[in-house]
Amino acid sequence: MNPFLDSLLPYPFERMNALKAGLRVRSNAPHIALSIGEPKHATAQFLVDACTDVASVRAGLGTYPATRGSDALRASIGAWATNRFLLKPGTLTPSKHVLPVSGTREALFSFAQCVLSGRSGSCAVLPNPFYQIYEGAILLRGTTPYYVACPESTGYLPDFDSVPAEVWQNCELLFICTPGNPTGAVMPLDQLGRLIALADRYDFIIASDECYSEIYPDESRPPPGLLQACAAMGRDDFSRCVVFHSLSKRSNMPGLRSGFVAGDAAILERFFLYRTYHGCAMPAHIQHTSELAWADETHVIDNRALYRHKFATVTPMLAPVLGVREPEAGFYYWPATPIDDETFSQRLFVEENITVLPGRYLSRPHAGVDPGLNRIRMAMVAEPAECIDAAERIIRFARTL
Ligand SMILES: Cc1ncc(COP(=O)(O)O)c(C=O)c1O
């Protein structure tokens, strides 16, 4: 057995289930899960049709799909990323700089297995709180994770100034998540640029998880991305930089398992080699559906309008009782709780049949501070009526505290 398996911590949802085990719900109202970031808005019909087209599914069944994906899919991704992140036309070459992946989850995990050396003393830096795959991927490679707190004082962005030089010296991989899960914080271009300069100075790779980049409130201010920071610096080879994107949140298709990685061609060539063994090639009809999804913005704009409307309704309801603030991007609230986060979550479940995630399940104590302690994560993914119902019940509950 891989000895590092023992270093893995239980997944947040397992801890949540354990926390709820044996509790008796007092409310008769239906259960509402605000704990899981699984989009519930309807998938656009043209994508449902593409994915379920029998002729297209049947055509793909008789051949092994290519790990690199079809030219058409990579071209669609390349055009999308070039347009979205203001890249100089022609710099993001689909054949060299883009690989399709079966969702960013497996890609984030396998990328770390590929690029980390496992050498004694090596470390990988990640935000705290964080998406737990980063930590698991680092630990399973026998690498030491270094957690960088995302406190309120830095606008919930990782406090990179607090990282000692010796950590950067030993760092092989930096994970960033922008927009952040669970904080919603968006890294500005200049901070991305400073991280790229650090990566050059200390010789590490940046993996930028941008899977929430298409959920944002202001159509005129899309969150910037790492490739965009490269372009702004004239770094047209995207050296040391790899981004992770997904159709799960952008196009409400978490079940499709489709995303891509893009960036530094030399790193992607090594990752391609890894993936030929890893064996996560995307089935043909998923590739075809993905190609159409990346080529269309209308359904993405419509989706953002739904979130905008929902947040405009729910935030003013919850702000007076729970101090929620509308996320800069993404679909989570990350409020402080007036009592211990686990107790809050348990009592909300018992009294109102609502599940939220205790913040500490998404974070680790580090240097005497746990940035998730006494916070909760609430995913505003359901249809508006359910979110409003949840808000009304949370208000009733919060007034009893
Ligand atoms: C920060 C973050 N990254 C990656 C993922 C994985 O998304 P997917 O594998 O569906 O692309 C999630 C899913 O919730 C997430 O929150």
Q: E strands of 297-339, at which residues?
A: 332-333
119 pLDDT tier (thresholds 50, 70, 90): very high
127 Cβ inside 6 Å of ligand 1: no
Determine the distance separating the centroid of ligand 1 and the alpha carbon of 35, expressed in angstroms.
14
Q: Is the CB of 104 under 6 A from ligand 1?
A: yes
Calculate how far, in angstroms, residue 24's C-alpha sits from the geometric centre of ligand 1. 31
Question: What is the distance between the alpha carbons of residues 352 and 396, in angstroms, rounded to a whole number?
Answer: 9
At 95 the pLDDT is 96
Which band of pLDDT confidence, cut at 50, 70 and 90, is reported for residue 397?
Answer: very high
Nearest alpha carbon, ligand 1 atom 15: 131
> Atom 14 in ligand 1: which residue has the minimum CA distance?
37
- For residue 308, the model assigns a pLDDT of 97
Residue pLDDT, tens place only, 239-280: 999 999 999 999 999 999 999 999 999 999 999 999 999 999
Residue 11 banded pLDDT, cuts 50, 70, 90 = very high
Measured distance CA(395)–CA(387) in Å, rounded? 12
Q: Is the CB of 211 under 6 A from ligand 1?
A: yes
Mean pLDDT, all residues of the chain: 97
Q: Which amino acid is at 338?
A: P
Residue 162 pLDDT grade (very low, low, confident, very high; cuts 50, 70, 90): very high
DSSP string, 115-140: H----TT-EEEEEES--HHHHHHHHH
Supply the DSSP symbol for 5: G
Average pLDDT rounded to a whole number, residues 207-233: 98
Which atom of ligand 1 is nearest the CA belonging to 181?
1
pLDDT at 88: 97
Among 136, 177, 137, residue whose Cα is nearest residue 157: 177
Share of the chain above pLDDT 70, in %: 100
Q: Is it the case that residue 314 has pLDDT exceeding 90?
A: yes
For 13-72, list the strands marked E by DSSP. 32-33
Q: What is the mean pLDDT of residues 70-95?
A: 98
Q: Which atom of ligand 1 is closest in space to residue 130's alpha carbon?
A: 1
What average pLDDT does range 169-185 have in this prediction?
98
For range 106-122, the mean pLDDT? 97
Percentage of the chain modeled with pLDDT above 90: 98
So what's the pLDDT on residue 367?
Answer: 85
